[in-house]
């Protein structure tokens, strides 16, 4: 049960001078089959070029949002004769994090995101060791595919990605308020069954986009998604993003969920979400859960993720569970957690359990994982046991 961690560097693009940008924009548009700027639009195109991502293979139009964002998107969808893309950008949540379609990075920079390519339907977040641009706010591009008079897909990308629209029309919106963006996206999250087996791109894309907004309204929206009355699938996915992207505010929400969510499945997922958080206090909450959660399933899951995250700090909690947890299944999961520690920490503890634990099922589990370790110390232990 691994989920891809979602942390990497987001780059912002450098704008050209206004006059040069206006001329270049018109030339590129003509070369790619788009209509040239109409009279009166040249200065607008020049002013907006610095904030527009690289968009190719598209019939590009730029609009300023003067009305409610929801109304603007609805109007575009209602009047579109064919499928098209709509996009805008907002400030992105702090941290070295970037988003690129199909994990398509090139030397730390995003490559081309082919929006209409069938296998390009999943947007991933990744970590990269490329250079991070420090000037200006990092930007997140939010993309809506409208078709058949409605929003059919929502995706996100870094603004250093080149967006290939596959020959479709592309409306770039300026002046979008992040609070309106979050409010609109939240309607798609609540209206979509993220855990269903159908196309999850609308609900999942909207949830991802909200989580990456650098605005307090995103924290409020995520909090609303984890209320006990919300469906479990939504609570689990929102919890993940709280750990992966929302810092201290996300940690506070996860701590509350760990103590109050009525579902053991959701609390087990909270343990994973805590394991991907960068907040130091996340480990403290995981240790508390390993001791205090009423569900043996949750305690076992916490032990596993503790082993992945905390290393030496987790050893005491894991061995304590082996010695003291009343549930044998939890003890066995704790033994497995020892096997996930670095070998210099885990193998000696496994040998100790195999030698001394009073529970035969636990000793057997320790022997099994020692056998899987391929560690010379384990071989010496087995030779000693067999020759006694």
Least confident of 98-102, 190-194, 250-254: 98-102
Q: pLDDT band for 117, please (50, 70, 90 cuts).
A: confident
Quote the CA–CA distance of 59 and 366 in Å, as a whole number.
63
Over pLDDT 90: what percentage of the chain? 58
Residue 46 has pLDDT above 90, yes or no: no
- Between 100 and 268, the more confident residue is 268
Place of tokens 């008079």: 149
pLDDT digits (tens, 9 = 90+) for 278-296: 999 999 999 999 999 999 9
Encoded tokens for 157: 């990308």
Query: Do residues 210 and 222 touch, judged by C-beta distance below 8 A?
Result: yes
- Give the Å distances, CA to CA, from 65 to 16, 42, 178, 180: 23, 18, 12, 11
Give the pLDDT of residue 160.
Answer: 81
d(C-alpha 291, C-alpha 320), whole Å = 9
Look up residue 179 and give its two tokens: 């609070």
Give backbone dihedrals phi and psi of 386, rounded to 5 degrees, phi first.
Answer: -75, -25
Strand order from edge to edge, sheet including 112-114: 54-56, 162-164, 112-114
Joined together, the tokens standing for residue 73 give 């998107």
Nearest 5°: the CA angle 294, 261, 185 is: 155
Other C-beta atoms closer than 10 Å to the C-beta of 75 total: 12
Helix H segments across 193-279?
201-211, 216-225, 232-245, 247-260, 264-275
At residue 243's C-alpha, the angle toward residues 136 and 253, to 5°, is 105
Please say if the pLDDT value at position 183 is more than 80. yes
Q: What is the pLDDT of residue 165?
A: 94
Q: Can you tell me the distance from the alpha carbon of 385 to that of 13, in angstroms, rounded to the nearest whole number?
A: 64
**Model pLDDT for residues 316-371, shown as the tens digit of each residue:** 899 999 999 999 999 999 999 998 888 888 899 999 999 999 999 999 999 999 88
Strand partners, 114: 164
Q: pLDDT higher for 116 or 23?
A: 116
Q: In the predicted model, is pLDDT for residue 27 greater than 80?
A: no
Helices 264-275 + 232-245 axis angle, to 10: 20
Q: How far apart are CA 182 and CA 186, in angstroms?
A: 6
Cα–Cα distance measured from residue 138 to residue 13, given in angstroms and rounded to the nearest whole number? 9
Q: What is the pLDDT of residue 188?
A: 95
């Amino acid at each position: 049960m691994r989920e891809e961690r979602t942390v990497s560097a987001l780059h912002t693009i450098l704008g050209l001078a206004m006059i040069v940008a206006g001329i270049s924009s018109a030339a590129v548009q003509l070369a790619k089959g788009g209509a040239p700027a109409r009279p009166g639009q040249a200065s607008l195109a020049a002013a907006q070029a610095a904030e527009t991502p690289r968009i190719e293979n598209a019939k590009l139009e730029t609009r300023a949002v003067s009305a409610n964002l929801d109304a603007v998107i609805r109007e575009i969808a209602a009047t579109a004769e064919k499928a098209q893309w709509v996009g805008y950008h907002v400030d992105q949540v702090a941290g070295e994090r970037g988003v690129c379609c199909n994990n398509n990075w090139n030397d730390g920079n995003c490559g081309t995101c082919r929006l209409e390519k069938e296998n390009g339907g999943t947007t991933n977040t990744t970590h990269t060791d490329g250079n991070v641009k420090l000037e200006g706010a990092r930007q997140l591009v939010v993309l809506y595919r409208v078709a058949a008079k409605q929003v059919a897909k929502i995706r996100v990308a870094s603004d250093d990605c080149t967006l290939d629209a596959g020959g479709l029309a592309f409306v770039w919106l300026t002046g979008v308020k992040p609070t309106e963006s979050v409010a609109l996206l939240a309607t798609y999250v609540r209206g979509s069954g993220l855990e269903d087996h159908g196309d999850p791109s609308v609900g999942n894309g909207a949830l991802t986009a909200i989580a990456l907004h650098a605005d307090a309204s995103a924290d409020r929206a995520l909090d609303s998604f984890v209320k006990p009355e919300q469906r479990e699938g939504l609570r689990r996915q929102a919890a993940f993003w709280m750990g992966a992207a929302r810092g201290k505010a996300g940690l506070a929400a996860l701590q509350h969920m760990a103590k109050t969510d009525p579902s053991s499945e959701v609390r087990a997922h909270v343990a994973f979400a805590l394991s991907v958080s960068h907040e130091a206090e996340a480990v403290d909450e995981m240790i508390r859960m390993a001791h205090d959660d009423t569900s043996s399933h949750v305690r076992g899951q916490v032990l596993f993720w503790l082993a992945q995250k905390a290393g030496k700090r987790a050893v005491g909690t894991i061995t304590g569970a082996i010695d003291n947890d009343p549930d044998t299944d939890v003890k066995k999961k704790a033994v497995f957690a020892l096997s996930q520690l670095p070998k210099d920490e885990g193998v000696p503890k496994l040998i100790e359990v195999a030698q001394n634990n009073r529970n035969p099922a636990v000793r057997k589990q320790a022997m099994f994982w020692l056998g899987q370790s391929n560690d010379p110390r384990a071989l010496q232990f087995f030779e000693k046991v067999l020759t006694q």
